[in-house]
Structure 1
């Protein structure tokens, strides 16, 4: 670090140290104007934390770019700011404008503190290096945060779209609607196996009435699920085999002989009830039916 660079850093440190509360207020005002941010005590605390961490980072021997990425208090403050923006539904543009607003506030403070054009130039160069690096960090963090939110929402939608239902005593079923891919198969399998264990199910029905088409990949997913169900000690039935599905399976030469198939869910449920009957017993008596003695 040269003496000139050290002088500029000390100059900026003094501005941050002496004008922290005022700078925080100016930064929040600029964010309101440019990034459509609503002020509050939490945002003021956030602004003061970032400014204090930036001042602390200027006292290190790290380069401007390394101050952002390698000084934990500043990096953590910026990451926290970006993640809160992402989770709050802010746009990427608004998040970037928040960082640019900080640059504007600091440059205005430099202009107030000194009338020397060379000082203005040197301070502007240093601030550009610092806050450009901060902008890259906040933007990349925002993208990662939004991706995590999207993944979480996708997982929730998968779980909601594959409910496991108790159809009868010791019988559970899962109605599938839409495309069955590897990710969704895993969700279905996990939910079904957990339901089998929790409800001591002996029969599991997979209904594909709402699946638009069955190709080789879908058939493989169904077979894997059926194998997992059998490993849990339950019988697996497949219902919803409509005429177009049956024709497609036949044309592709897909072998589903390892799974008992039925055209309708009602047919599969009837089979499931028969499988649960003790050996030698007849069909379940209808409610209210009377027995008549013969003789």
Structure 2
């Protein structure tokens, strides 16, 4: 660290020390005035974020870390920036709003330094230092925001998959899975997990997979179905595939897909009738009087 940088660093830290609440208040007001937020973050939440982040900036400046690495390597500051970004992502704020918030913090810090010195050289050095410090925080904030949004999207996609593949109880010990739309690897995994869990929870002995709403069946779809059927069998339950329409039957035959080991029925009602027979078990043998 050069002597000029050390002086500028001390100047900024001294300007912030003892004025954390004032700087935090100014930062909150700047964000509200700039209308940078869409309304997902309340003013009280802004204040809590500001208090935590400004205090962390002071301790980060007091550390021996290089100024370019303070935001990423100083634990307290890293946590404060990460929490802010994740909160903004969960609240539906845009990356632009988060970037404007960082710019507003630069302004609040520069104002604090200006009140402590009027020397143009010191102000210039302090401005460069603040830019380097908050540019690192801004980069960390953006990366965290993107990761947070991706995690939210993945979770929502998973929830949509689960909603589109419900497991319903059709009869005593009989479960049904009505499939609608394309059956891909991700959806197959969700179907399999939900169905196997339902078989265990409800002690089902027959599962019906209805593909009436599946537009086409190709080799990949057939493989997915067979994997699900095999998993159901490993749970000790029988599996029936219903909804085999004439066009799908022709496609399966033309592709040479072997479903001979799987019980299939044309309609869901036919599959349910077969399932009821399977769950009924063998009829009791009537008692025959012994001959004399």
Q: Same fold (TM over 0.5)?
A: yes
**1:103-146 alpha-carbon deviations (Å, 9 max, x no partner):** 11112222232211111111111111111111100011001101
**Aligned equivalents of 2:84, 2:282: Cα separation in 1:** 66
Q: 3-state SS of the aligned residue for 1:236?
A: strand
Pick the aligned partner of 2:127 from 124, 127, 134. 124
Are 1:170 and 1:203, in contact at CA under 8 Å, matched by a contact in 2? yes
CA positional deviation for 1:45: 2.0
1:214 maps to 2:217: yes
CA positional deviation for 1:29: 1.1
Other-structure match for 1:232: 235
Other-structure match for 1:111: 114
Work out which structure has the larger RCO, using CA pairs closer than 8 Å and 6 or more positions apart in sequence: 2
TM alignment of 1:77-92, pairs within 5 A: 77-92=80-95
TM alignment of 1:1-295, pairs within 5 A: 1-34=1-34, 35-36=36-37, 39-280=42-283
Other-structure match for 1:288: none
CA positional deviation for 1:15: 1.2
CA positional deviation for 1:39: 5.0
Using structure 2 for the length normalisation, give the TM-score. Answer: 0.93
**1:45-78 alpha-carbon deviations (Å, 9 max, x no partner):** 2101101110101111111121111000000000
Alpha carbon RMSD of aligned pairs, Å?
1.5
Q: 3-state SS of the aligned residue for 2:49?
A: helix
Q: 3-state SS of the aligned residue for 1:18?
A: coil
**1:5-24 alpha-carbon deviations (Å, 9 max, x no partner):** 11111110111113211111
Size of the aligned set, in residue pairs, is: 282
Runs (5+) with no aligned partner, structure 2: 286-292
Are 2:16 and 2:112, in contact at CA under 8 Å, matched by a contact in 1? no
Runs of 4+ that moved beyond 3 A: none
CA positional deviation for 1:277: 2.6
